[in-house]
Chain A
Amino acid sequence: NAGVMQNPRHLVRRRGQEARLRCSPMKGHSHVYWYRQLPEEGLKFMVYLQKENIIDESGMPKERFSAEFPKEGPSILRIQQVVRGDSAAYFCASSPRTGGLADTQYFGPGTRLTVL
């Protein structure tokens, strides 16, 4: 009964490198959300995806950040040319269906990105 899985749990990158964060939703869930949490702050919504579709990316920075959720495999959050300000915890959540206001989002353990 695996929950939401994220890997890696910790990722260290040097400025200018690329970071790839992976998220596998709970079994039976087809909707994925990515959030960013800075130290001592709450969660900030980044993007909402369904299989092969980006539903809402209003929280994503306009440059360097992209996300996908292919038909097969995990969802990927990709950060190109990382900068120190990208250092944060990135959380993925999944839910079973869309449009259900009562749906609960279940969170993974997060990936802690450190940019040197």
Chain B
Amino acid sequence: AQSVAQPEDQVNVAEGNPLTVKCTYSVSGNPYLFWYVQYPNRGLQFLLKYITGDNLVKGSYGFEAEFNKSQTSFHLKKPSALVSDSALYFCAVRGVDSNYQLIWGAGTKLIIKP
């Protein structure tokens, strides 16, 4: 069965510190991995995706994500957190068996404290 896990409901980070939001997945074949961010009462904004190639993917707002095939992970990272990064972050995966459907994680609330 295909699935995505975001093991942390909430992550707290001090402003200026590096942040990591974790995501692990289970799909058949090669995964296509996505990160989205949702601000309060807003829609989801696309941050970045991994298709193939370099394991380190760079995205919007200074975010990046590292694909690790052996650990089936796709953790979202940022070297220096901003208060404005506080939001809800969703990881999603698509595999050959899910075709067009994105399989979503439950979301991780990121809180950046000044």
Using a CB–CB cutoff of 8 Å, the interface residues on chain A facing chain B are 4, 6, 31, 33, 41-43, 45, 48, 55-56, 91, 93, 95, 98-99, 101-110, 112
Contacts and interface: CB of A to CB of B under 8 A. Distances in A.
Contacts of B100: 31, 33, 48, 55-56, 95, 98-99, 103
Nearest to A95: B100
Nearest to A10: B41
A110 B107 contact: no
Given A102-B49, A104-B49, A107-B36, A91 B99 contact: no
B107 A45 contact: no
B46 A42 contact: no
A110 B107 CA distance: 17
Nearest to A92: B43
A42 B44 contact: no
CB-based closest 6 A-B pairs:
A107-B43, A107-B44, A109-B43, A102-B51, A42-B106, A101-B32
